[in-house]
């Protein structure tokens, strides 16, 4: 009886001739001489298939790296950035620009786009919310791309200009700890 099989080592597909009453048989691959055990698969009488049986195949597993504190530090930095950004927006919208003169410079340079204090304050709050959201996802080590985008947008929350630096450092920590993140149902990012 003729049967068709594939060598588990070199993936060479070949046909062999075996006795009719054989259920299991040890064969050698004609290409790489690897020995393996095969057994007959239940198919139609006209055509018989064979599959590997017996010895387990070697599996290459990725090494698991230890979790670092980088995502937790990045989470704290993004949380601080978000809070400072909201604080900056509130102070700027309620003051005459004397407390934060740099933001008045930004508003005056954007005056040709009809930006006013309220619009700038709202945009600072929106960017701060992105930083706070990124803080949560980086703490959970979930959704790397979304977290990196939130950290990037958190840079624009300004946060008394300290938040700008904190968000940049958080983004760098997030990128350095990329392999610690899980991407939803797909599992770890490698």
For 97-155, the pLDDT digits (tens) are 555 655 655 555 555 454 567 777 888 889 999 999 999 999 988 888 899 998 999 88
Specify the pairing of strand 2-6 against strand 35-41. unpaired
Do 152 and 181 belong together in one domain? yes
Do 46 and 91 belong together in one domain? no
The percentage of residues in the chain with a pLDDT greater than 70, rounded to a whole number, is 68
Specify the pairing of strand 35-41 against strand 24-28. antiparallel
Do 100 and 126 belong together in one domain? yes
Is there a domain that residue 6 lies in?
A: yes
Token reading at 184: 């939803």
Is there a domain that residue 181 lies in?
A: yes
Do 48 and 74 belong together in one domain? no
Is there a domain that residue 101 lies in?
A: yes
CA–chain centroid gap for 169, Å, is 19
Do 98 and 29 belong together in one domain? no
Is there a domain that residue 48 lies in?
A: yes
Q: State residue 169's pLDDT score.
A: 93
Packing angle, helices 101-109 and 117-140, rounded to 10: 110
* Number of structural domains found in the chain: 2
Do 34 and 91 belong together in one domain? no
Domain of residue 166 covers 70-186
Do 18 and 96 belong together in one domain? no
Is there a domain that residue 60 lies in?
A: no
Do 35 and 78 belong together in one domain? no
Q: State residue 190's pLDDT score.
A: 46
Q: State which of 62-66, 112-116, 159-163, 176-180 shows the largest mean pLDDT.
A: 176-180
186 pLDDT above the threshold of 70: no
Stated as kind and residue range, the H or E segment containing 15 is strand 13-17
The percentage of residues in the chain with a pLDDT greater than 90, rounded to a whole number, is 14
Stated as kind and residue range, the H or E segment containing 105 is helix 101-109
pTM tops 0.85: no
Question: Residue 115 and residue 43: Cα distance in Å, rounded?
Answer: 75
Do 156 and 122 belong together in one domain? yes
Do 13 and 103 belong together in one domain? no
Q: State residue 1's pLDDT score.
A: 61
82 vs 41, higher pLDDT: 82
Query: Please, how many CA atoms are within 13 Å of residue 141, restricted to the half-sphere of its CB?
Result: 17
């Amino acid at each position: 009886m003729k049967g068709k099989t594939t060598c588990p080592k070199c993936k060479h597909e070949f046909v062999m001739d075996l006795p009719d009453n054989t259920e299991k048989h040890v064969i050698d691959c004609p290409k790489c001489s690897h020995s393996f055990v095969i057994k007959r698969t239940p198919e139609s009488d006209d055509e018989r298939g064979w599959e590997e049986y017996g010895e387990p195949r070697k599996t290459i597993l990725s090494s698991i790296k230890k979790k670092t504190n980088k995502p937790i530090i990045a989470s704290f930095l993004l949380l601080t950035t978000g809070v400072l950004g909201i604080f900056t927006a509130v102070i700027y919208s309620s003051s005459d620009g004397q407390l934060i003169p740099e933001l008045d410079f930004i508003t005056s340079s954007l005056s040709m786009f009809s930006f006013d204090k309220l619009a700038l304050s709202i945009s600072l709050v929106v960017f701060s919310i992105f930083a706070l959201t990124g803080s949560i996802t980086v703490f959970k080590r979930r959704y790397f791309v979304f977290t990196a985008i939130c950290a990037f947008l958190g840079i624009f929350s300004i946060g008394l200009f300290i938040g700008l630096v904190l968000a940049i450092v958080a983004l760098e920590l997030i990128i350095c700890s990329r392999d610690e993140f899980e991407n939803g149902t797909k599992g770890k990012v490698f």
